Amino acid sequence: MERPVKPLNPSELQPSDKALVPFVSVDNMMRLIHHIGVEPMLRDLAAYIEADFKRWDLFDKTPRVASHSDVGVIELMPTSDGEAYGFKYVNGHPKNTREGLQTVTAFGLLADVYTGYPVLLTEMTLLTAMRTAATSAMAAKYLAPTGSRTMAMIGNGAQAEFQSLAMKALVGIDTVRLYDIDSRATEKAARNLAGSGLTVVACTSAEKAIEGAQILTTCTADKANATILTDNMVGAGVHINAIGGDCPGKTELHRDIVARAGMFVEYPPQTRIEGELQQMPEDHPFTELWQVISGAAPGRRDAQQVTLFDSVGFAIEDFSALRYIRDHIRGTAYYMDLDLLADPDDPRDLFGMLMRAKG
């Protein structure tokens, strides 16, 4: 459906030649994160995501466009608020770790709807890790038990440290209990979190990891139906942050947990395909997270309720992260201009521009 379009505010565009596109490389993204600080940036990203969830109705929304293979998935995640358009390219290949490669890599683009011109191209492998953790902590701020201090982190791969620091920065946890079927992953996470201000406890089983935890985060990579948490492991009053289920046929929780928990989701048509919700019948109740954040629906009902954030990641969160990077690279050295767009003197004379470049 067509709708009125207005250009981005000139102050939101980079002060560079109109044919040049600001590009944030992996190296510059790392420099920017360190310049801002990991925890301050996680808090800032959560604020941007929260602001966009409060204007949910403005966005084009569609489940991610996925191309599945027997070894992984490649996806595009697009959205627009009518002024800016953003998309992320992302893959998910669990077998990559065995080959010395990242399970997930990503890049993203933000464009001006009025002209169609890109205004930002950026790496999003690191940025996705940051925005995923920020989204988890934003949800926990609304859904976790008041005064939560301990999180169990089950699955200690690339997300573990980001999730732990985001929960510290936004929710106030002071202890993280780690478990992974690969003890080397737990050792890695414990080593990286040393000196973070968190008490880090390495555990030998998922059962031990959840002891005394008010927040249970599951983040496993295998592309399969799995039971990371069984029903008898989950007591009253906890908040479950289930972020590993991100494709069809991949789940982490026993169905009985899902059946008795208060479920909160991002975008239902996508969660039904990819999340824990795919285990449940069509009439299973849930609440969309944006409704809680906007005040249209309640979050945690009482101290005994088990709450479940069935997170699969949604394009609006990436859009928020792209907005954040666009806003925070102004006046810095953390980007370079790419000669990405043709810019002939006469917009109708593209061939003439080509010929003038000869010899």
As annotated, the active-site residues are 246
d(CA 227, CA 215): 17
50 vs 135, 146, 283, CA distance in Å?
8, 19, 28
What is the CA angle 206-210-216, rounded to 5?
A: 100
- Alpha-carbon span 328 to 34, nearest angstrom: 13
Residue 195 makes CB contacts below 8 A (sequence gap 6+) with none
Which tokens belong to 60? 């084009």
Give the pairing type, strands 20-24 and 118-123. parallel
**Do 61 and 267 contact (CB within 8 A), yes or no?**
yes
Listing DSSP states for 141-210 in one string gives HHHSPTT--EEEEE--STTHHHHHHHHHHHT---EEEEE-SSHHHHHHHHHHHTTSS-EEEE-SSHHHHT
Query: CB–CB of 242/263 below 8 Å?
Result: no
Q: Which token pair is 191? A: 């080593």
Distance in angstroms (rounded) separating the CA atoms of residues 353 and 351: 5
Rounded Cα gap, residues 206 and 155, in angstroms: 9
DSSP 92-141: E-GGGGGGTS-S--EEEEEEETTT--EEEEEE-HHHHHHHHHHHHHHHHH
